[in-house]
Chains A and B, each alone.
Chain A
Amino acid sequence: MTLAENLFENLRLELRRGCLTLAVLAQLKQEHYGYTLRKALASRGMEIDENTLYPLLRRLEAQGLLTSEWREEDKRNKRFYRLSADGQEIFVRLLKEWNDINTAIGNLL
């Protein structure tokens, strides 16, 4: 990887980091367990690495933005996540922030 590519990759990751949380919160209006959430996000163009997504879900739950529940599905115990009431409120605010940034960037371009 050249220096320019490396720099671009770092900046891209930095740009994506905040968006990932927003994408996860958006998708978790419906209940999902880790793998199906990942598939759902990927099918909408938001690919997330397992090592990023699964720990992120736990962090968001620890922060009170998600609730989780262990349940059996297809003869396997899975942990299902869903947006909590606090998460819903934060999501609305983050979405507004994201839209404002988008508008500002649009105005600049």
Chain B
Amino acid sequence: MELLERYLDALRRHLPWQRQDDIIAELRANLEAQLEDREAELGRKLNDAEMEAWLKQLGSPLQVAAHYQRQQYLIGPALFPTYSYILRLVLAWATAIYVIASVVTIAAQGFGAEALAGISLLHVALRLPWIWLINAGITTLIFAAVERAGARFPGKIYPLAPMTPLWSPLDLPPAGAGDGDWAKPRSFTRALLEVFAGCVFLAWLLFVPHYPFLILGPGAWYLHALPYQLAPVWWTFYWLVVCLNVFELAWKLVDLARGAWQRPPNRARRLSMHALSLVPLCMLLAAPNHVLFLLKNPATDAAAYGATVASANKGVLQAVSIIVAIVVLQLLWGIGRASLDAYRKHEAAK
């Protein structure tokens, strides 16, 4: 009996305080009745070992008390699909924002200190698991609170559950908006329009150096008056952009000529174009002495405009490094998704 009292006492500590006396009183009555039956069967009292075995078979106090909790899970099956989806989104966005912010901070410290930048990048990588942990923790806490509120006020908290009256098939994205095999075949008109638009864009691009107003509008007339000019690296950047556009246009024309226009650009092609788009941007980052803008007359204008041009060089380089970081992340994301899909396809084919 003493062991039973100890058992019930331990159990009480894990029960909801509002109901613990009531639950314990009921459980005591049931267990004592059960014990009396067993003792009547044996014709004697249970010894300590038998008592211990019986209580052990009932389950640990913590385990038994858990059955009396109103809510026995942190996030229930109705909310879990939404939680899982949001968690993946949060982790992806947290990673992207953190990496971009870190790269910009490193870039702001200066491009000359490569060794320092390397160490900073290592710090960024080492802190990433903590970022994931913190974001996952916060998301889980929010969903656990929603689950709890849902259990407390049934029928009132449901907008986050996927199978709710708020869900409608009309909210689904259009068919064929996906990638790869799911993508919708293109019409001939669309393929033709794409080639036409590509030609117009290329023509525009080729005219821009001769007619700057095509890109700057009326502001182009001020270019002559300004004491600044673009560094030669911009010409390299410009011709690389032209080459990329010619390459893509040629690819589309070949598709059209081969009758392969129905096929939307596949993932490998899009990824390779994405990777190639990094080349002109990296040329800017690799500009000699990190100079993107120059003074037209350094001898006379250095004193008045030297600081402005240095600040413009720094600012634009930082902006370019942010763009490169975003493009690299998009590329890594694309490669990751493509690899995952390829792996899944391979596994499914087994």
Contact = CB atoms under 8 A, between A and B. Distances in A.
Interface residues of A, number: 15
Contacts of A55: 67-68
A34 B68 contact: no
A33 B68 contact: no
Interface stretch (A14-22, A73-81, A93-101): A73-81
Given A50-B58, A51-B58, A33 B30 contact: yes
A105 B297 CA distance: 93
A51 B64 contact: yes
A51 B30 contact: no
A35 B30 contact: yes
Contacts of B33: 33, 35-36, 76, 78
A34 B67 CA distance: 15
Contact of B29 (A51, A52, A58, A77): A77
Contacts, number: 43
Interface string B63-83: 110011000000000000000
Contacts of B58: 50-51
A77 to B, nearest CB: 6
B1 to A, nearest CB: 13
B25 interface: yes
A20 B28 CA distance: 23
B30 A50 contact: yes
Nearest to B68: A55
A33 B29 contact: yes
Contacts of A52: 67
B32 interface: yes
Given A35-B34, A51-B59, A76 B29 contact: yes
Contacts of A35: 29-31, 33-34
Contacts of A33: 29-30, 33
Query: In terms of DSSP, what is the predominant structure of the interface of chain A?
Result: helix
Contacts of B27: 54
Which of B27, B30, B63 has the most chain A CB atoms inside 10 A of its CB? B30
A34 to B, nearest CB: 4
Interface in A42-63: 50-52, 54-55, 58
Nearest to A51: B67
Contacts of B63: 51
B176 to A, nearest CB: 39
Contacts of B179: none
Contact of B32 (A36, A38, A76): A76
Contact of B26 (A34, A38, A51): A34
Contacts of B68: 55, 58
Contacts of B67: 51-52, 54-55
Given A52-B67, A55-B67, A58-B68, A79 B26 contact: yes
B99 to A, nearest CB: 41
6 contacts: A34-B30, A35-B30, A36-B33, A54-B30, A58-B68, A79-B29
**For the complex of A and B, 6 pairs with smallest distance between CB atoms:** A34-B30, A55-B67, A35-B33, A35-B30, A78-B29, A79-B26
Interface of A: 33-36, 38, 50-52, 54-55, 58, 76-79
Interface of B: 23, 25-27, 29-34, 58-59, 63-64, 67-68
Given A51-B59, A54-B30, 9 more contacts: A33-B29, A34-B26, A34-B30, A35-B33, A50-B34, A54-B27, A55-B67, A76-B29, A76-B33
